[in-house]
Amino acid sequence: CPSNDQKPTEYRLEYEAVGHQVEESIDELNEYLILLCKTSAKLAQFLMKTSQMQHDDSIVSEIDRMIDEENVISQGETPRDLNKKLMEKLKQLKTNYQKQKNQTERNQSISDLAEIYNLLNLLKGIPMVNIQLDAIKNYQQTLLESNQRHISTTKIK
């Protein structure tokens, strides 16, 4: 669905997830970033081709939104260096993602569904991604159970 039709999803990550990042080397984190960019580019291309929405790249839109937010924060009354650094890193991420996407488009390697599943499984190997996926699953399970209880009590009335 288009990004303006999406409903906000709220879930909480456990604070222990931060401990995993400290244990990982900078090289590993950079490898994860490359994998995320490549996978995101292939997934975006697959979704845009199969849904016929070739002009709306929600990944770029979201990165732009985050850059704009950090820009507003960094230009506030109290300039914040960390926000400026984050804004620069987001710009680098956008550039890297767009390079991967352009390379994927040049190769015309429209992935099939099996390859997409394989790529998603590779992403599950990234500890922080796996923790986030678990948090989302737990949230969805809680939401489902809550909706089932609501339906049950509605039927009883």
The pTM score is 0.64
In this structure, are residues 111 and 119 in contact, taking their beta carbons and an 8 Å threshold? yes
Boundaries of every domain in the chain? 24-125, 126-157
- Please give the Cα distance from 97 to 88 (Å, whole number): 14
- Residues comprising the chain, all counted: 157
> 32-83, pLDDT tens digit by residue?
988 998 888 888 888 887 777 666 788 899 999 999 998 888 887 676 788 8
Identify the residue whose tokens are 């016929």.
52
